[in-house]
Amino acid sequence: MRLMITGADGLFGSQMAPLFMNDSFYSEVVLKSVNDFDIRQKKDVIKNVCEIKPDILIHMAAWVDVDGCEKKPQEAMEINYRGVMNITEACRMIDSKLIFISSDYIFDGIDPPLGGYLENSESNPLNVYGKAKRFSEQYIQNMLHNYLIIRTAWLFGGGNAQNSFILKVLDSLKYSNKFYAIVDQVGSPTYSVELGECLCKILKSKDFDSLKGIYHIANTGECSWYDQALKTVEFMYGRTHQYKIIPVLMNSSSYYARRPKYSVLNTDKFYYATGIRLSSWENSLKQYIESLKI
């Protein structure tokens, strides 16, 4: 089994790649970063993918700065939609199974179903990043028969204080005893390591060939950024500490792009298909914070 991963040095990719690299199940695991090829360059994408001929390609390369995407929509569409089109076309040429990582930001948070969004809930992205993800999903669905679209959300674990909320909280509290966190945006935080382990498991399962279409995978439960910041501090410093987490509303934040107020992902479909359910976000966050203490 030959596996290729794009965006392998990103937040999720860097957590996930070692899990695959050390596994003899794969005859070859090829990790690609932006230094190897730019997904916007169709010729380079096709040349690289066709040379490697992976059985499975996990496409994680993306521009994930939601506000940056809103400020530069053309660039965002080039990377997050055109880039996916290029990857999809390459997969079609050599009949590779494409695993595309999509996002909860394809939903608008208005009138969500009880228990969170389902795979077939109506999408209505509020920002350019979400639109590019949804267009990409539709393109893949039209072009390929062998694909897996995994929608996940609010990844933590890995990264740095610039792109990881948890590290941003802990880093800020080194300089101030206060941290302002958004209280009116609710989602499904997801531990990148646990998501990576879950992908490892399903790729090796006997039912993997028949697993196709869109699935939501996220830690269970739901919370706001404020709840997540509170738990981060509690797990790091114990229940009694000197830090103050102050709730703020989205419309008084520095967000440039609109975000859904509620984008919790219902993960039942994935559970019924695979028997796998990720743990609660609190348990996973605790495990991640413990790993930071070592």
Ligand X SMILES: NC(=O)c1ccc[n+]([C@@H]2O[C@H](COP(=O)([O-])OP(=O)(O)OC[C@H]3O[C@@H](n4cnc5c(N)ncnc54)[C@H](OP(=O)(O)O)[C@@H]3O)[C@@H](O)[C@H]2O)c1
- 8 A C-beta contact, residue 220 and residue 280: yes
Closest CA to 150 of 110, 108, 188, 95: 188
Between 9 and 55, whose beta carbon lies closer to ligand X? 9
- Report DSSP letters for 209-254, one per residue: GG--EEEE---BS-EEHHHHHHHHHHHHH-SS-S-EEEEE-GGGSS
The binder of ligand X chosen from 3, 4, 10, 136 (CB under 6 A)? 10
> What distance in Å separates the CA atoms of residue 126 and residue 18, rounded to the nearest whole number?
34
Of 9-17, 135-143, 204-212, 261-269, which segment contacts ligand X by CB under 6 A?
Answer: 9-17
Q: Is 55 in the site for ligand X (CB under 6 A)?
A: no
CA distances, 213 to each of 251, 265, 271 (Å): 35, 16, 14
Between 155 and 182, whose beta carbon lies closer to ligand X? 155
> What distance in Å separates the CA atoms of residue 77 and residue 97, rounded to the nearest whole number?
23
Size of the site for ligand X (CB under 6 A): 26
Of 33-41, 134-142, 233-241, 269-277, which segment contacts ligand X by CB under 6 A?
Answer: 33-41
Q: Is 4 in the site for ligand X (CB under 6 A)?
A: no
> What distance in Å separates the CA atoms of residue 87 and residue 73, rounded to the nearest whole number?
20
The binding track of 64-83 with respect to ligand X, each residue x by CB under 6 A or -, is: x--------------x---x
Between 162 and 242, whose beta carbon lies closer to ligand X? 162
Of 5-13, 49-57, 134-142, 255-263, which segment contacts ligand X by CB under 6 A?
Answer: 5-13
> What distance in Å separates the CA atoms of residue 101 and residue 129, rounded to the nearest whole number?
13
DSSP E strands: which ranges in the chain? Answer: 2-6, 28-32, 56-59, 97-103, 147-152, 155-156, 178-182, 186-187, 190-191, 213-216, 223-224, 244-248
Of 58-66, 120-128, 221-229, 278-286, which segment contacts ligand X by CB under 6 A?
Answer: 58-66
The binder of ligand X chosen from 33, 141, 205, 253 (CB under 6 A)? 33
Of 36-44, 85-93, 201-209, 266-274, which segment contacts ligand X by CB under 6 A?
Answer: 36-44
Q: Is 198 in the site for ligand X (CB under 6 A)?
A: no
Q: Is 11 in the site for ligand X (CB under 6 A)?
A: yes
Of 88-96, 135-143, 154-162, 205-213, which segment contacts ligand X by CB under 6 A?
Answer: 154-162
Q: Is 217 in the site for ligand X (CB under 6 A)?
A: no
Q: Is 260 in the site for ligand X (CB under 6 A)?
A: no
Cα dihedral across residues 84, 270, 163, 181: positive or negative: positive
Q: At what angle do helices 192-204 and 11-21 cross, to 10 degrees?
A: 40
Q: How far is the CB of 245 from ligand X (least distance, A)?
A: 20
The binder of ligand X chosen from 152, 232, 263, 266 (CB under 6 A)? 152
Q: Which residues contact 31 (CB under 8 A, 6 or more apart)?
A: 4, 5, 8, 9, 13, 17, 21
Contacting residues toward ligand X, per CB under 6 A: 7, 9-13, 33-34, 38-40, 60-64, 79, 83, 101, 103, 152-155, 159, 163
